[in-house]
Structure 1
Amino acid sequence: MADAFVPGTDLVMREVLHDALWAHWPERVVADVGPDGVLATFQPSGTPLSFPPHPTPHPWGHLDAWQGTSVLKLRRTGDWYAVWKFFDADGAHLSWYVNFETPYVRQPDGMTSTTSSSTS
């Protein structure tokens, strides 16, 4: 299992669908308790989003960048969800959100989530 990520560094969040890379983007590490604890990352408005060619369109595929809000994301290894805290452009808290997702697997440079279906 990978070591804890260093706060302040960027990591790559990857989504894989049907054994092919579906999407990826950077997120900044805020805190990491380690492989069995909570990983907190931050995705500011304007974060570039990348969608390699894939037979199944990604729901965000029409976007070049994350826009409108910044998001603090809290994940635990093995959980089938992440907790997202949204902020507006001035840094004011807007809302909490539970994002249902497949568990992420730590890689040396980030995290990978593998999905077998496009209905998530």
Structure 2
Amino acid sequence: MWTAMPQRVVADTGHVLTLAYWPGIESLAPTSWITSTRTGGLGLREEVLADLASGAWVLDRYRWTGTALLSHFLAGEWFSVHCFQDAATGEPLRWYVNFERPYVRRPGTGIDTLDLCLDLVITPDLSGHHWKDRAEYAQLRRLGVIDDYLHRQVEQAQGRAITMLDNESGPFAAGWPTWTPDPAWPLPELPADAEHVPDQAPR
């Protein structure tokens, strides 16, 4: 397991699964990723990807801060769509398209997927966008984590994501969602044995 994130189910149509994540939630993540996130070191980012390629890493607890997000997972699709906003003010920050393996449902406990590193960052009003982490994606190609099959899937998914954005369809259809986590919601928590739960999604 690379990461484990407890989230709250907001909606589940069977085709689109919408999850909420906000400050205070505690996840599991590789120690190299936690350090690179806190320091912003580029060399540490390379270490994170090397850990993923080698299959050897150490997990630690990581508490989310600063932003709240709604995440839309589309059944069978090679990307998910996220809306990040400032947790304190509710100010919209960015749409975020994360390219990844199609999610696999884990009965009763959640979903499994695998982040493929490449991202598309979009302004809240959908008027502009830019690609993120192309260098990291290229490194995962060189390391063999993303083989030719996965690369073809990501290339095709990029086209579908851009079409969805241009047409303002899918999660983009209703524009920016107005929401905040309900103060009555308890913080989602990982199960006690989360570190030992085997993956169901293929690497």
The bucket for the TM-score relative to the shorter chain is 0.5 to 0.7
Give distance in 1, aligned partners of 2:100 and 2:61.
20
Distance of 2:60 and 2:2 partners within structure 1:
13
Give the Å deviation of 1:91: 2.0
Distance 1:103 1:77 in 2: 7
SS at match of 1:78: coil
With normalisation by structure 1, the TM-score equals 0.66
Deviations 1:17-37 (A, max 9, x none): xxxx11101010010001xx1
Greater strand share, structure number: 1
Local SS of the residue matching 1:49:
strand
- Measured after TM superposition, the shift of residue 45 of structure 1 is 1.8
Structure with the bigger RCO (C-alpha within 8 Å, sep 6+) is: 1
Q: Is the 8 A contact 2:28 2:60 kept in 1?
A: no
Aligned ranges for residues 30-109 of structure 1 at < 5 Å?
A: 30-34=10-14, 37-51=15-29, 55-56=56-57, 64-89=62-87, 90-108=89-107, 109=109
**Number of the residue aligned with 1:117:** 145
TM-score, normalised by the number of residues in structure 2 = 0.41
The separation in 1 between residues aligned to 2:98 and 2:5, in whole angstroms, is: 17
Which residue in the other structure is 1:29 paired with?
A: 9
Query: Secondary structure, in 3 states, of the residue corresponding to 2:7?
Result: strand
In proportion to residue count, which structure has more helix? 2
Shift of residue 110, structure 1, vs aligned partner: 0.3
Aligned letter for 1:117? V
Displacement of 1:62 in angstroms is: 7.6
Q: Percent of aligned positions with the same letter in both sequences?
A: 38
Gaps of 5+ in 1: 1-20
C-alpha displacement of 1:42: 0.5
RMSD: 3.0
Structure 1 residue 93, shift from structure 2 partner = 1.7
Deviation for aligned residue 1:66: 2.0
Aligned length: 95
